[in-house]
Amino acid sequence: MSKSATHSYSRYSRAAAGLLGKLIRAARKQRRLTAQETADRAGISRGLLQRIEKGDPKCGIGAVFEVATIVGVQLFDADEAALAGHTRQAEQHLALLPKSVRRSPRAVTDDF
Amino acid sequence: MSKSATHSYSRYSRAAAGLLGKLIRAARKQRRLTAQETADRAGISRGLLQRIEKGDPKCGIGAVFEVATIVGVQLFDADEAALAGHTRQAEQHLALLPKSVRRSPRAVTDDF
DNA sequence: AATATATGGTTTATATATAGTCCATTAAGG
DNA sequence: CCTTAATGGACTATATATAAACCATATATT
C-alpha cells in the first residue's frame, strides 16, 4: 500500500450510502435536531455527521447505523425484535450451508 | 483523544450490523463464492471481509455495501432504479425542511 | 434589520482501520 | 483416507478516518 488505493465503489453502493445519508439528514431536520445535538447523542463529532449525511462511503457502518437509529431511520424496516428474529433465521440458514466453499471444477456461475 | 475512545454502540446498531454480516455470509456461501474471490471482486482484503461478515461496526459502510451488492444482498429492498427514485424523494422532502434547525430558546430544552 | 446560532469547510494531531503477510486448523472432494 | 483448498486468527506497517479547534457564511428568530 505505498500508493493510495483510491478504491472506487459501484454505482449501487454509492447510491445506497448517499440515499441513507439523505434519509438521515431529512429525518434529523424533521425532528428538529441540530447537527451538534445529534452528533453528541451518537457520540461522534459533528464533522463525521456531516460526512455521514453526505453519504461518504468511508464512514464506519456502526456510526452510520447509530445516527440512523437516533434520528429514527429504521434499518431493514424492522424493530429490534424483528431484527433478532431475522438474525436467528440467517443463522439457521447459514447452518445448512457447507462450512467451506470449495471452488468447483469450472469457474463460478456468474462472472463479469 | 489520548485515551482510547472505546465507543460503544446501541444494541440496535450492533444488531443491525451483525444481521447484515450474517446475511452477507449466508448469501456468499449460497452463491458458492470463496472469501478470497469475494474480497477480490470487492477490491478489499480477505481479513476485512471476515470482519464485515462478523458484523464489526468499524468497517467502512462503502465496503460493506459493496460486498452486499456482490453477493446479492439488496439494501433497502430496492434495485438501482428504485434507489434513484427514493433519493429524489428524499431530496424533495429535504427541500421542504428549513435549512437550519434552530433550537427554541426555552421550549424544547427539557422535552421529556 | 439586527443578532445569535447552525452549518460548511478547512487544518492538524492522533487513533485505528486496512492490506498484506504469516501459520494452524478445518473440511471438501477425489 | 488423503490431498488440497478454505478458513480463522494472529502480527506489522502504512494509509486514513476521526476528533478538535478553527473560521466564514448562511439563516432563523426577535
Domain membership of residue B24 (yes or no) is yes
Domain membership of residue A66 (yes or no) is yes
Q: Is A11 an 8 Å CB contact of chain B? A: yes
Q: Is B82 an 8 Å CB contact of chain A? A: no
pTM of the model: 0.92
Inter-CA distances, B80 with A57, B53, B92, Å: 17, 23, 18
Domain membership of residue B112 (yes or no) is no
Protein footprint on strand C: which nucleotides are under 7 Å from a CB? 5-11, 14-21, 26-30
Domain membership of residue A109 (yes or no) is no
Domain membership of residue B44 (yes or no) is yes
| Amino acid found at B47 | G
Task: Give dist(CA A59, CA A67) in Å, integer.
Answer: 12
How many structural domains does chain B have?
Answer: 1
Residue B1: CB atoms within 10 A of its CB come to: 4
CATH number of the domain bearing residue B70: 1.10.260.40
Digitized pLDDT (tens) for each residue of chain A, 112 residues in all: 444 557 789 999 999 999 999 999 999 999 999 999 999 999 999 999 999 999 999 999 999 999 999 999 999 989 999 999 999 999 999 999 999 999 865 544 444 4
Residues spanned by the domain of A38: 11-96
Q: What is the pLDDT of residue B7?
A: 79
Lookup: cell for A3: 500508493
Task: Give dist(CA B51, CA B49) in Å, integer.
Answer: 5
Distance from CA of A82 to the nearest CA of B (A): 10
Domain membership of residue A31 (yes or no) is yes
